[in-house]
Amino acid sequence: TPTREFVTGLPKAELHLHLEGTLEPDLKLRLAQRNGIDIGQSTVEEVRATYAFDSLTSFLAVYYPAMEVLQTADDFYELADAYLARAAADGVKHVEMFFDPQAHTSRGVPFEAVVTGYHRAAAEAPAKHGIDAHLILCFLRDLSAESAAETLEASVPFRDKILGVGLDSDERDNPPQKFADVFARARELGYRLTMHCDIDQVGSIDNIRTVLDEIGVDRVDHGTNVVEDPALVDVVRDRGLGLTTCPISNSFVTDDMKATEIAGLLRSGVRVTVNSDDPAYFGGYVADNYVALAEAAGLTTEEVVQLARNSFEASWLGNSQRAAYL
């Protein structure tokens, strides 16, 4: 199994990272103070104690309320900039970062403050951190399709600042079909498409089939349950479709890293990638996720190198830029 130093030194792309999931306790406290918000916690230990959950639903119940400290474009900038510094230290060279505008606009924060703050950090990232950084707008699937459609239209003036769209939040009773029209419109607007198919959901395998056949995504976030249908694994491999897995996140929301499943997909030739999801909440950035998976699954050095290659191959870089990393 390769060492942590080896993993850190390997150039990597991170493709499944929620910016709101990078809110470390110290930054949360600093933003709360600056914005005059009483969050009910005053030390890092007290904030960390609230970061406790054992399922996707219980995680989301902690995650959304914590975002109240994010108010201004500067707050979003600082959050993204802190993540980019941390990612650079882990050897990340390219990142496609999710953000949840509806989690902010629903609290009265202007869409423009969210996008311009995050985008300023992304635009500075090549010179400041040596990272090429892009944004993926995620719709919250537990809100209505109408709300997603309104959010998509609100993004149009910022089209050049956003690479693609995704779908996150609670998958239960919110299947991909609910957003078929929104995603069709997003494709017309020129956005790349991805959707979460979370771990061990009711109907996970059906949802994976739907995102491939009906939505026509360019990538699948998590998607690890595809192992339940070997014929579908072949389809994913043959199309070269990226799966963005998140080992440490899996171990929080299901008590199982799914190392066997992820390693099996890798060894079947599927373009599987390793990512951190919500690192401030799950306690591991991307290098930690590579190391945890490598140890749990007994990955060889060659397999870890393949994971890093996959991360660029599954990215939405243009062909010539991608070639520079391979």
Footprint of Zn ion on this chain (CB under 5 A)?
277
Does the protein bind ligand HPA through residue 279 (CB under 6 A)?
Answer: no
Beta strand extents in 189-277 (DSSP E only): 192-197, 219-222, 242-245, 271-274
Using rule CB under 6 A, residue 94 touches ligand HPA: no
| C-alpha closest to that of 56 among 222, 243, 303 | 222
In angstroms, the CA 177 to CA 214 distance is 8
Choice between 96 and 168, CB closer to ligand HPA: 168
Instruction: Report yes or no: 214 and 176 within 8 Å, Cβ to Cβ.
Output: yes
Which residue lies nearer to Zn ion by CB, 124 or 142? 142
The answer to whether 258 contacts ligand HPA (rule: CB under 6 A) is no
Distance CA 101, CA 235 (A): 33
21 binds, among Zn ion, ligand HPA, none (CB under 5 to 8 A by kind): ligand HPA
Q: Which residues, at least 6 apart from 108, have a Cβ–Cβ distance to it below 8 Å?
A: none
What's the maximum distance between 2 C-alpha atoms anywhere in the chain?
55
Name which position in 13, 14, 17, 18 contacts ligand HPA (CB under 6 A).
Answer: 18
Instruction: Kindly state whether residue 81 participates in binding ligand HPA, applying the rule CB under 6 A.
Output: no
Q: Among residue numbers 144 through 173, which ones bind ligand HPA (CB under 6 A)? A: 168-169
Nearer to Zn ion, 2 or 223 (CB): 223
- The pattern of x and - marking residues 205 through 244 that bind ligand HPA according to CB under 6 A reads ----------------------------------------
Please, is 238 exposed, middle or buried when counting C-beta atoms within 10 Å of its C-beta (0-12, 13-18, 19+)? exposed
Residues lying near ligand HPA in the complex (CB under 6 A) are found at 18, 21, 56, 168-169, 196, 198, 249, 277-278
